[in-house]
Structure formats: C-alpha cells, structure tokens
Amino acid sequence: MNRIDWVVVRRLLGSVGLTLVVLYGIAALAESLNLGRFNRLSALGGPPLAITGIVLGAARWMIDTLPFTFLVGAIAGLLSLQSTREMTVIKASGLSVWRVMKAPLAATILGGLLVALVFDSGLVWLNRSVLPPASSSDGSGLWLDERRADIHYILEATATDAGGTNLKDVTVFLMDQPRDRIEAPEARLEGDAWVMPEATRHRAAELSQKITDFHLPTSRTAGDMRARLSTTGDLTVWELAASLASRLNDPGERAAVETRFLRLIGLPLSLCGSLVIAFAFTAGYRRTNKYGGAVLYGIVLGVLVYVVSEMAGRAGGAGVMHPAIAVAGPAVVAIVIGVTVLLNREDGRT
C-alpha cells in the first residue's frame, strides 16, 4: 500500500471505530433496561456479574449488526475525506475510485475474518466462562419425538450432560400399539440406539417387567444432540464446523447450524457489500460539497439490505431457504447494487 492507501484506510478505520463506540454505548444502554436479567445476575454474583452481562450482551449486539454499523462508519469516513477535499485531490492525482477501494476492501476482508474467527469465538467463550447458563424455569427437561419406519416414541429425560449423549431419569412412551411405557435411570447414545443398562417396562393390565441392556433405535447422532441442547449463538465457529463435519441427521438442526456457520464465514463478504455501497453514494465529486441526499439514500439502502439479510438468515435457519443462498444472496446483491451505481457515476472509468 502507498501513502494514499494508508490515508484512506486510517480515515475509514477511525470513523468506523468511533461509530462502533457510539453504537456500543447505545446497545449497552438497551441491555441495561432488561431488568429481569440484571436482577437475576445480581442475585447470583452481585452487581459486577450483572454489569459483565450488560457488557457481553452489548458486544453480541455489535457483532449481529456489524454490517450496518460498518456502513454508517464508512460513510462518515468518506464524508470526512470529501469535506477536506482530500478525495478530490486523490482523484486529481489520476487514481480512480476502483483503485482507491482496493486497500479498504483488503482491510475489510481481513477485519471481517478476524471478527468471525477470533472475536466472536472469544465472546462465546467469555459468555460460557463468566455468565451462568440460562436454566429452564418450568422444569420440563428434555423431550425428543422420534419417528422411524418401524417405531414411534417420545423420550423424556430430566437431566443430561453437556453433549446430550447421556440422559438421566428417562421415560419412553411408545406411541404404537401396545402403548408401553419404559422407565430407566439412565440412557446412553451408542451408535444408532439409546442403550439403557437397566429399565422397567410398564404395560396396561400386566405386571411391570425388568429389562437389562435395552436398545431403543434412534436416528439422532451426537452432533444432533449437541445442536439440540444449545443455540447456534452459543457455539464458536470452530464448534459449528465440527458439528457440520459430524453427522447431523436432523434437517432442522443442520439448517440452523449451517446458516450460523456460513453467516460467520460470510461476514467479510457482507462488510465488503457495505463498503461498496458507501463508496457508491459518497465517493463522487460534488461542487457544492453537500451530500445529505446521497447519505440518506446510502443509509436507507443499507437498512434495507440488513433487513433482507436478517429475514433470509431466519429463513435459512428454519430450513425454508438453502443456507448458502440465504447468507450470500443479500451480500452479493449489495455488492452488485454498489458496483452498478459506481459504474453509472464514474462513467465506466477504471
């Protein structure tokens, strides 16, 4: 990178950083209004734990809204270059907007990878290490509805380990005739079956029957259970990759895990779309140096792209849309729109 590249990158990084600080304060204020969570954490670890929860919760907000925040910061940085006529001087030196964008795009890709692979994983680890897990207040335990070609049953367990492969106080309701009920103190997931070393079978109008080494067929895998017991936001990108590498037979769980993984990996692409939009609406020369309308159009378009991205992400997580299309589609559309506007304003200059 030459000196001009450093000037543009530093100015953009400074504006993006300032925008992140301001919006982080707003997110922290919004998190502090969750009095139920604040009181629960205060009761468990006092005010320091509650404040830590606010800090980490606001950081999660920032990652989820990073493409839009980055767009606002990039627009502010480019307007700073325009207000001092530095962008005009840069273009007068013979550099086109395409050449000026190269260094910021490279920095954006690097920063996006850093956030996705390091910062997000560190935030998840801190949440696990510092904050207590959210527990269910209704005591409903774990319920699994299993349907196979030859058997249909509902399994209930009052407790399970972190991986979901060891269940405690298990009750199985066989839905086919005769409708037996099987109770066992524990069940282990081994291969393609739940193995219960000791169990008791209950059947209407008959005496209870003791069973040893009872095998209950299942299509669920260890990866399915890990995904079932934790939300995708509680998994690092490395754990999401491990879950995808293992067998995930449940289509709903696989769609949610794959969408979350692709959103993290595709974060640099989303940030590049935001940067291209910012350049498209604010990098052009104006004699009056008034960019109010262009800024408004850019922010409105950024909000629209963000809303579409969130809707597509939810559709991908629900299995309605293919995760790859749900993640890459809005980012690619943003880049296409930005490049189209730039081509129109720059008159095809490269």
pLDDT in tens, 154-171: 888 887 776 678 888 899
Q: Around Cβ 309, how many Cβ atoms within 10 Å?
A: 23
Q: What would the pLDDT profile of 294-315 be if each residue is shown by its tens digit?
A: 678 777 877 888 888 888 888 8
Whole-number Cα distances in Å, 281 to 22, 76, 96, 299: 23, 12, 15, 9
For the entire predicted model, the pTM comes to 0.74
pLDDT at site 243: 77
Average pLDDT of the chain is 83
**Cα–Cα dist 24/190, whole Å:** 46
> Which tokens hold the place of 133?
């897990």
Q: State the residue for tokens 């017991």.
A: 229
Whole-number Cα distances in Å, 245 to 249, 250, 254: 12, 14, 11
By the 10 Å C-beta count (0-12 exposed, 13-18 middle, 19+ buried), 90 is classed as buried
Each of the 350 residues of the chain gets a pLDDT tens digit; together they read 788 888 889 989 999 999 999 989 998 998 888 888 888 888 878 888 888 888 888 888 888 889 888 998 998 888 888 888 888 788 788 888 888 889 999 999 999 999 999 998 888 888 877 776 554 434 456 888 888 767 888 888 887 776 678 888 899 998 887 788 899 999 988 888 889 999 998 988 788 889 898 988 888 877 777 767 667 777 788 888 887 777 666 777 788 888 889 999 999 999 999 899 888 888 766 666 666 776 787 778 778 888 888 888 888 888 888 888 988 888 898 888 888 888 887 665 44
Give start and end residues of each alpha helix (H) in 189-236: 222-229
> Which tokens hold the place of 19?
């925008």
- Residues 27-41 as b or e (16 or more Cβ within 10 Å = b): bbeebbeeeebbebb
3-class secondary structure, 164 = coil
**Cα–Cα dist 261/249, whole Å:** 17
pLDDT at site 136: 40
Q: Would the CA dihedral through 274, 275, 276, 278 be positive or negative?
A: positive
pLDDT at site 138: 41
Beta bridge partners of 216: 194
Q: Around Cβ 126, how many Cβ atoms within 10 Å?
A: 14
Q: CB within 8 A of 174, min separation 6: which ones?
A: 151, 152, 153, 180, 181, 182
pLDDT at site 265: 92
Helix (H) or strand (E) holding 336: helix 323-346
Backbone angles phi, psi at 164, to 5 degrees: 80, 10
Q: Nearest CA to 263 among 76, 41, 63?
A: 63
Q: Around Cβ 196, how many Cβ atoms within 10 Å?
A: 23
